Amino acid sequence: MNTMPLLIKNARIITATDDYAADVFCAGEQISRIEKSIDAKSCPPDTEVIDATGKYLFPGFIDPHVHIYLPFMGTYAKDTWETAGRAAIIGGTTTLVEMICPGKTDEPMTAFETWLGKAEGTAPCDFTFHMGVTRFDDLAERQLREIVKRGITSFKVFLAYKGALGVDDRELYRTLKLATELGVVVTAHCENETLIAERSAELIATGKTGPEFHEPSRPVQVEAEGVHHLMTFAELTGAEVYIVHTSCDEAVREATRAIERGVNAHIEVVLPHLVLDQSYTLGGGPALRAESGDPFEGAKYIMSPPLRDKSQLPRMWNHLRSRAISTVATDHAPFDFETQKCMGKDAFTKIPNGIPSVEDRINLLYTHGVCEGRIDLNTFVDAASTKAARIFGLKGKGTIAIGADADLVVFDPAFRGTISGKTHHMATDYSAFEGWPINGRPSVVTVRGRVMARDGKFVGGSGHGRLVPRG
Binding residues for ligand URP, per CB under 6 A?
67, 189, 303-304, 331, 333, 353-354
- Residue 381 phi, psi dihedral angles, 5° rounding: -70, -40
Give the list of residues 6+ apart from residue 201 with CB closer than 8 angstroms, or none: none
Q: Which is nearer to ligand URP, 192 or 304 (CB)?
A: 304
Rounded distance between C-alpha atoms, residue 131 and residue 246, angstroms? 20
Check binding of 273 to Zn ion (CB under 5 A). Answer: no
Q: How far is the CB of 353 from Zn ion (least distance, A)?
A: 8
Nearest position to ligand URP, beta carbon: 353
The one segment of 88-96, 183-191, 219-227, 425-433 that binds Zn ion by CB under 5 A: 183-191
| Residue in 309, 247, 302 with CA at minimum distance from that of residue 277 | 309
Rounded Cα–Cα distance for residues 324 and 350 (Å): 34
Residue count at the site for Zn ion (CB under 5 A)? 2
Three-class DSSP category at 173: helix
Q: Which of 223, 240, 268, 331 binds Zn ion (CB under 5 A)?
A: 331
73 contact choice in Zn ion, ligand URP, none (CB below 5 to 8 Å, kind-dependent) = none
Q: Please, what is the minimum distance in Å from the beta carbon of residue 243 to Zn ion? A: 10
Instruction: Work out whether 189 is an interface residue with Zn ion (CB under 5 A).
Output: yes
Maximal C-alpha separation, the chain: 75
Is 384 in a helix, a strand, or coil? helix
Distance in angstroms (rounded) separating the CA atoms of residues 168 and 159 = 8
Q: What phi, psi does 197 have (nearest 5°)?
A: -60, -45
Query: Least distance from C-beta 165 to ligand URP, angstroms?
Result: 8
Q: How far apart (Å, rounded) are the C-alpha atoms in residues 320 and 161? A: 27
Q: What is the nearest approach in angstroms of Zn ion to the Cβ of residue 352?
A: 12
CA dist 455 → 13, 221, 275, 416 (Å)? 19, 43, 24, 12
Interface with Zn ion, residue 130, by CB under 5 A: no
List of residues 6+ apart from 163 with CB closer than 8 A: none
Q: How far is the CB of 286 from Zn ion (least distance, A)?
A: 27
Minimum CB distance to ligand URP smaller for 306 or for 393:
306
303 touches, from ligand URP, Zn ion, none (C-beta below 5 to 8 Å by class): ligand URP
Minimum distance from CB of 101 to Zn ion (Å)? 8
Name which of 43 and 358 has its Cβ closer to Zn ion: 358
Beta carbon nearer to Zn ion, 93 or 379:
93
Which one of 2-10, 127-135, 140-148, 329-337 is the stretch in contact with Zn ion (CB under 5 A)? 329-337
Residue 256, burial from CB neighbour count under 10 angstroms (0-12, 13-18, 19+):
middle
**Residue pair 428/400 in contact by the 8 Å Cβ criterion:** no
Nearer to ligand URP, 245 or 374 (CB): 245
CA–CA separation, 272 and 247 (whole Å): 9
Give whichever of 27 and 160 is closer to ligand URP, judged by the CB atom.
160
Q: How far is the CB of 394 from ligand URP (least distance, A)?
A: 20
Residue ranges binding Zn ion (CB under 5 A):
189, 331
